[in-house]
Amino acid sequence: MKRLVCVLMLMAMVFSAGAVMALNLNDHVTMAPNGKGDLLLFPLYVAAEGWETKINVINTSLTYPVVAKVVVRSMIYSRELLDFFIYLSPTDVWTGTLENGPNGPRMVSTDDSVLISTSKWASQEEPMERDLIEPCDDLNAIGYVEIFEAWSTLDGPDTDDGVPPIPKDDVKAAFDAATSFSEVVNVLAANYEIRYLTGAVSGTEQATILKDYNVTTGLTLSVETKIGQNANNNMCEVEAALSKNNLAMYYYNTEDEATLHFVTFPTKLSNYDCTECTGVLSEFFSENYSSSDCWSAYYGLRYWDLSENTPGAPDPIFSPVPEEEQFKFPWEVNWVTSFDFIYDEGWTLYKFIKTSSPSEDPVSTTCEPLVDDGDTIIFTGAPAIPTTLFFGANGLSIMGAAYDYGTVTYNDNPVTHYQLKEGGDPVEAVPY
């Protein structure tokens, strides 16, 4: 089989021009409506005793090898628990499982897309087994996972028969030698499966996938990678793409059926030194909440049963949200149980509100895109990812939620469906 190293190194030199920057409205990161992108967010994993979470990442390209960085984060303060690279040849898939091992939560993978040492790939005989660090005043049995597309090449497979796979040693060597990282192919797809081992049941859901995030500098394992850094889009642009005004989530609350509602804030990224929270990286949280209460997002909560009954039934023409209906999400991964609702079945509405004046108006955030040229973004809502776990007589299911996109204004001009890159000039798709 021919070796690709020389070819890929040449391609890296050809495309080693300066980093691409977000120069206009059409260059911002968006949700990936086709389920393929370059920034993957798994809003929830469970690796407590008796539970495990399997993660699958697919390189859907028939021609492009891709390297991605996996980052596992904690539930309360987004502490980095583990990071590593996955090396995907065209049509490759990586699988890994977050489980409860002999020393507590860990990541296990028998997939040859990940290394167990500097020169040895994982296998069934020698799997990758890496314990998650135990963070101070935090949890590592529950959290979330980020995956950043770190590098790809525009060259196709150079094999004797013209089809994948490309040897992983070749992909790694080309990535290690690369000097350009701005070629985005948006070909990564992903899903996760949460398993309750005692009951032998599980539920599966697609990851939250964004496209055109565009890492522009080389990612390493020696420096922590956070959303909004080393990329074509900063925190402001990512949060605008994730912004939601209201979350509508179904619930069950009987002896045989129950739900957990999870709301994840992957951009919050608290600065925590094991004694106190000293701030957040998030544009949304830093602007809307003081450092003394930096880990809170406030919301109004209403819920109904199947016959439109709701506790108190306040007159809807009045605001602000009544005090008894005001709550806060304190962490990066938050949950609300159906046991808090008095009805057997129905739905809830989570409405994000301002702490200083909890009116019915959505929270708004003003920030600047990556290039400092006077541009301004104003978005409403919160950069939230909703997830529902449903436990029923027939097993476990994972569901998303209905929601309203936050409104986004770019330089005083409303942008229709900013999250999906509508309202601007069409962007040419990258072939794959």
How many C-beta atoms lie closer than 10 Å to residue 178's C-beta?
22
Residue 428 is assigned to a structural domain of this protein:
no
Beta bridge partners of 388: 261, 399
Arithmetic mean of pLDDT, 344-360: 86
Asked whether residue 47 is assigned to any structural domain, the reply reads yes
Domain count, the chain: 1
CA distance 22 to 68: 21
**Cα–Cα distance between 227 and 1 in angstroms, integer?**
38
- Residue 21's domain comprises 5-420
Compute the average pLDDT of residues 301-322: 81
Give the pLDDT band (50/70/90) at residue 59: very high
Higher pLDDT, residue 310 or 317: 310
Most confident of 164-168, 338-342, 352-356, 418-422: 338-342
Kindly report the pTM of this predicted structure. 0.90
pLDDT at 431: 38
Question: Is pLDDT of 361 > 50?
Answer: yes
pLDDT at 293: 64
Q: Which of 135-144, 184-193, 195-204, 311-320 has the lowest mean pLDDT?
A: 311-320
Q: Does residue 78 contact residue 331 with C-beta atoms inside 8 Å?
A: no
pLDDT for 292: 62
Greater confidence (313 vs 305) lies with: 305
Per-residue pLDDT of 249-291, as tens digits, reads 999 999 999 999 999 999 999 988 888 888 899 989 987 666 6
Going by C-alpha positions, the residue among 223, 179, 260, 193 that lies closest to residue 9 is 179
Average pLDDT, the chain: 85
The pLDDT of residue 26: 66
Q: What mean pLDDT comes out for the span 218-241?
A: 93
Higher pLDDT, 249 or 423: 249
Q: CA 120, 131, 396 angle in degrees (round to 5)? A: 110
Residue with tokens 């995907």: 88
Residue 47 has pLDDT above 70, yes or no: yes
Pairing of strands 395-399, 385-392: antiparallel
pLDDT at 79: 95
Model confidence pLDDT, tens digit, residues 157-212? 444 445 567 899 999 999 999 888 877 789 999 999 999 888 778 899 999 999 99
So what's the pLDDT on residue 316? 62
Residue 96: inside a domain: yes
The answer to the question of residue 352 being in a domain is yes
Tens-place pLDDT, residues 82-117: 999 999 999 999 999 999 999 999 999 999 999 999
Segments of 118-178 assigned E as strands: 128-131, 142-152
Q: Is residue 314 part of a domain?
A: yes
Q: pLDDT tens for residues 330-341? A: 999 999 999 989
431 lies in a domain?
no
Other beta carbons less than 10 A from residue 165's beta carbon: 18
First to last CA, the chain: 23
pLDDT value of residue 24: 56
Strand partners, 88: 66
Query: Is the pLDDT higher at 290 or at 23?
Result: 290
Q: Is residue 432 part of a domain?
A: no
The better pLDDT of the pair 396, 145 is held by 145
Whether the per-residue pLDDT at 327 is higher than 80: the answer is: yes
Q: Does residue 425 lie within any of the structural domains?
A: no
